[in-house]
Amino acid sequence: MKNQLFTKTLNPGDVFVFPEGLIHFQFNFGKTNAVAFSAFGSQNPGVITIANAVFGSDPLISADVLAKAFQVDKKVIYLLEAQFS
């Protein structure tokens, strides 16, 4: 199964729906706080291998974003991505 990266920049009032079973994350590129509301349509979305989806996505998730999210140096991110390419 191909792990494809979908990106969307949201503005105030925008809505985005994550397809069932899709690994997802949010990143605030703005300078102010962001507020998000979420709802779940299923308690059992299936099985997704997170490492494959995060470090093997196409296109790759920004190393800057992943380094900040996992609180590691970008060199670690590049090493992990190499394992899944």
pLDDT in tens, 48-70: 678 888 898 888 999 998 998 89
Binding residues: 24
Structure tokens at 53: 């989806």
24-61 core/surface letters (b: 16 or more CB in 10 A; e: else): eeeeeeeeeeeeeeeeeeeeeeeeeeeeebbbbbeebb
Binding-site residue numbers for Mn(2+) are 24
pLDDT for the residue 36: 82
Pull the structure tokens for residue 80: 């992990």
Q: Does residue 12 have a cis bond before it (omega within 30 degrees)?
A: no
When the pLDDT of each residue in the chain is averaged and rounded to a whole number, the result is 83
